[in-house]
Amino acid sequence: MRVLLLLLALLTPLSATAQKKRALAAAPARGPPCTSPAYHQFDFWVGEWEVQTPKGTPAGENKVEKILEGCAIRESWTSADGSHGSSLTGYDGPAGRWTQTFVDDLGMVLVLEGELRDGKMVLSGRRSGSRGMLNRIVWQKLEGDRIRQRWEQSTDDGRNWTVLFEGIYTRKKG
């Protein structure tokens, strides 16, 4: 009896793997996931960046890279004061929108959703516990391999906005 149980325990995972391989082989050929043009709308943000305020004061550095076979974008931010933050951004094909989750070393979590509008990536959302405070971040490609990022907040559902941060990204050379 023990031998039979041991054989079943060994063969069951092998059988599941074989079934998965057969199912994949029998499935109609599809292209790689995350390759449609919508998944590339935010590619202009990918790279290594030096970030300054519009007045030229250093604000920090950002490394933005495609991961997971091009299905997601990972951001690693370091501000000039040494604080850190990271985000994971991805295009949700069935929903037709982008989603970003940003977390920093001070415990802030910000979840945003949105789309590419008029050549600008516009993501917005409410922080939990923010009592209705709406956040909006806009990334806009500029001339000279630069990007403007503008983070704004609204306390009146988007009728009026206050700028929290504006950074000009310049791609690092080399």
Average pLDDT over residues 38-66: 97
- Per-residue burial over 150-167, b if 16 or more Cβ lie within 10 Å, else e, is bbbbbeeeeeebeeeebb
A 10 A CB-CB count for 69 gives: 10
Instruction: Indicate the pTM of the whole model.
Output: 0.80
Is the pLDDT at 25 greater than 60? The verdict is no
Q: What is the pLDDT, as a whole number, of residue 3?
A: 46
Is the pLDDT at 60 greater than 90? The verdict is yes
Tokens (6 digits) for 36: 């449609």
Average pLDDT over residues 143-166: 95
Higher pLDDT, 106 or 32: 106
pLDDT level of residue 36 (50, 70, 90 thresholds): very high
Average pLDDT over residues 15-35: 62
Distance, CA of 143 to CA of 154 (rounded, Å):
29
Q: What is the DSSP letter of 45?
A: G
Residue 98's closest CA among 67, 130, 72, 126?
Answer: 72
User: Biggest alpha carbon distance in the chain?
Assistant: 78
Q: Provide the mean pLDDT of the chain.
A: 87
Is the pLDDT at 20 greater than 90? The verdict is no
Is the pLDDT at 27 greater than 60? The verdict is no
Is the pLDDT at 116 greater than 70? The verdict is yes
Higher pLDDT, 90 or 30: 90
Domains of the chain listed by start with CATH number? 37-171 (2.40.128.20)
- At 67-87, the pLDDT tens digits run 999 999 999 999 999 999 999
Q: What is the pLDDT, as a whole number, of residue 127?
A: 80
